[in-house]
Structure 1
Amino acid sequence: MDNAQATTAFAALSQQTRLDVFRLLIKAGADGLLSGEMGEILAVKQNTMSTNLNILLRAGLIRNQRHGRSVRYFADMQGIGGLIDYLLQDCCGGAPDQCKPIISTICGPNTNASKTQDKTE
């Protein structure tokens, strides 16, 4: 990932609805979600959802798969991994032990972020 791609990804995530969609798709995992399902969960109109999904698709943060007339959306783990790798490529100035808290937060089953999110829902 280069600077332009990272900037596009961050711009896509800088809007509340898109950030909510992105987090919802991460939570959905391998099952993904239909656009209409996300619209219902987040109380977002279909045309607004479609626009936001396209922005996230172009940013490489989500992917879609057509099933007949329906389109299912998923978090694009490869794209997300590329963004995380971009952010951490020069992490800790060559002292990997300093990166352990970041890595455990990213990989841990119960991160502080998820605990905070659960309390606010």
Structure 2
Amino acid sequence: MQRQSYTCGLDAAIDVMGGKRKGLILFWLGEGPLRFGELRRTVTGISERMLTLQLRELEASGLVHREVHHQVPPKVEYSLTEFGHSLIEVLGPLGQWGEENMERLEASREARGPAGVSGSAAP
């Protein structure tokens, strides 16, 4: 089965960012190279398995570079590629928008309740 083409640029950007924590991973790697353990401590709310999976997907997309240093103990560092840095540049304004509207967004999320639906009951 062939994958459907993107319908617009936003569709392509969201596809590469798909995953709850990928934006945070990219944000922290924008500060400089990090080892896996450092990322695990920095990106809260993600399991080791999920972090590994999302790093692999970001690497496959060409956004993240994985470098293995052959030493004892083994050392693996993750960093942004030039392509990854180009994405970080556009994520900055999105993060700023989130900061400016965080209270409003949190209030809206609380009003929807735990299931993500509005407070009104279905008929």
Query: TM-score per shorter chain, which class?
Result: 0.5 to 0.7
Whether the aligned pair in 2 keeps the contact of 1:9 and 1:61 (CA below 8 Å) is no
- Verify: 1:70 aligned to 2:47, yes or no: no
- In structure 2, do the counterparts of structure 1 residues 57 and 117 end up closer, same or farther at CA, with 3 Å as the change threshold? same
| Secondary structure class of the residue paired with 1:40 | helix
Q: CA offsets, 1:10-36, max 9 Å, x none?
A: 42312221111011101x23xx00111
Unaligned runs of 5+ residues in structure 2 are: 103-123
Q: CA RMSD in A?
A: 3.3
If asked which structure has higher relative contact order (CA below 8 Å, sep 6+), I would say: 1
Q: Which amino acid aligns with 1:34?
A: R
| Secondary structure class of the residue paired with 1:16 | coil
Aligned to 1:46: 48
Whether the aligned pair in 1 keeps the contact of 2:63 and 2:81 (CA below 8 Å) is yes
| Secondary structure class of the residue paired with 1:53 | helix
- Verify: 1:61 aligned to 2:66, yes or no: no
Whether the aligned pair in 2 keeps the contact of 1:63 and 1:76 (CA below 8 Å) is yes
Q: Which amino acid aligns with 2:41?
A: E
TM-score for both structures, normalised by structure 1 = 0.55
Structure whose alpha-carbon radius of gyration is higher: 2
CA distance in 1, matches of 2:12, 2:62: 9
Q: Which amino acid aligns with 1:21?
A: I
The ranges of structure 1 where at least 4 consecutive aligned residues each deviate by more than 3 angstroms after the TM superposition are: 6-10, 78-81, 111-120
How many pairs are equivalent?
A: 89
Give me the identity figure in percent.
18
Unaligned runs of 5+ residues in structure 1 are: 85-105
Q: Higher helix proportion, which one?
A: 1
- In structure 2, do the counterparts of structure 1 residues 45 and 79 end up closer, same or farther at CA, with 3 Å as the change threshold? closer
Aligned to 1:18: 22
CA distance in 1, matches of 2:59, 2:12: 11
1:116 deviates by 5.8
